């Protein structure tokens, strides 16, 4: 995974560190959980990395919520991608139990936990598959992304290091 991030970042670094970091934060599975440690490793200021990563991570969310359900429906009808689409949907719906039980708070906490498979992309896909309303879902996911961003920033820069940089 680290080699993939490094190669992607090298490819994108022609446009500048900030643009590359922005694009990396939008990539599914990497998201800000990968972009914040990457920015820290590159010696970028924590506040710049956090803001770029938050914005980049949130841009795909409304599109996933709006188009997720129709896209899954269409993909399940194609011969080539129906099997993998069913597997992805099944995996997401297993994670959706917590979201269904606690609704928007559950969605926020699901996204906030900085573990693989629990980011904004997964949260937005779950919101779409559950038919959750756009604005409340987006706000819940955004709050979860901010919490995850703060956790990752503190972990990547160190709690004392982040406080001393204020």
What lies within 8 Å, CB to CB, of 42 at 6+ separation is 17, 21
The owner of tokens 């629990």 is: 118
Do both 93 and 126 map to the same domain? Answer: yes
112: containing domain: 60-153
Assess whether 66 and 101 both reside in one domain. Answer: yes
pTM of the model: 0.81
**Of 57, 78, 104, which one is at a domain's C-terminal end?**
57
Instruction: Please count the other Cβ atoms lying within 10 Å of the Cβ belonging to residue 140.
Output: 24
In the three-class reduction of DSSP (H, G, I as helix; E, B as strand; rest coil), residue 80 is classed as: coil
Would you say residue 13 lies in a domain?
A: yes
53 with 118, same domain: the answer is: no
- Is 166 domain-assigned? no
pLDDT of residue 136: 95
Calpha distance 77→48 (Å, rounded):
43
| Residue 163 lies inside a defined structural domain of this protein | no
Start-to-end CA distance of the chain, whole Å, equals 31
**21, part of any domain:** yes
CA atoms within 13 A on the CB side of 27: 17
Residue 160 lies in a domain: no
**Distance in angstroms (rounded) separating the CA atoms of residues 141 and 92:** 15
Asked if 153 and 49 count as a contact pair (C-beta separation under 8 A), the reply is yes
Same domain, 133 and 67: yes
Final residue before a domain boundary, out of 10, 29, 57: 57
CA 57 from centre of chain: 5
User: Please, what sign has the CA dihedral across residues 143, 138, 87, 106?
Assistant: positive
**What is the chain's pLDDT, residue by residue, as a tens digit (166 residues)?**
567 666 766 666 566 889 889 999 999 989 999 999 989 988 899 999 999 999 999 999 999 999 988 888 898 888 888 888 888 878 777 777 777 777 889 999 999 998 888 899 999 998 998 889 999 999 999 999 999 999 999 999 986 554 555 5
What pLDDT is attached to residue 102?
A: 79
Pick left, alpha or beta for residue 35 (phi over 0 → left; psi -120 to 50 → alpha; otherwise beta).
alpha
């Amino acid at each position: 995974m680290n080699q993939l991030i490094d190669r992607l970042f090298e490819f994108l670094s022609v446009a500048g560190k900030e643009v590359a970091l922005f694009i990396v934060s939008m990539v599914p599975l990497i998201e800000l959980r990968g972009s914040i440690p990457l920015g820290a490793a590159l010696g970028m200021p924590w506040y710049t990395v956090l803001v770029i990563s938050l914005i980049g991570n949130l841009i795909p969310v409304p599109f996933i919520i709006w188009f997720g359900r129709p896209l899954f429906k269409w993909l399940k009808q194609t011969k080539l991608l129906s099997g993998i689409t069913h597997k992805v949907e099944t995996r997401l719906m297993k994670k959706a139990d917590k979201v269904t039980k606690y609704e928007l708070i559950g969605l926020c906490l699901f996204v906030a936990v900085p573990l693989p498979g629990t980011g904004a992309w997964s949260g937005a896909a779950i919101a779409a598959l559950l038919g959750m309303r756009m604005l409340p879902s987006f706000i819940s996911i955004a709050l979860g992304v901010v919490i995850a961003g703060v956790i990752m920033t503190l972990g990547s820069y160190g709690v004392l290091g982040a406080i001393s940089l204020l």
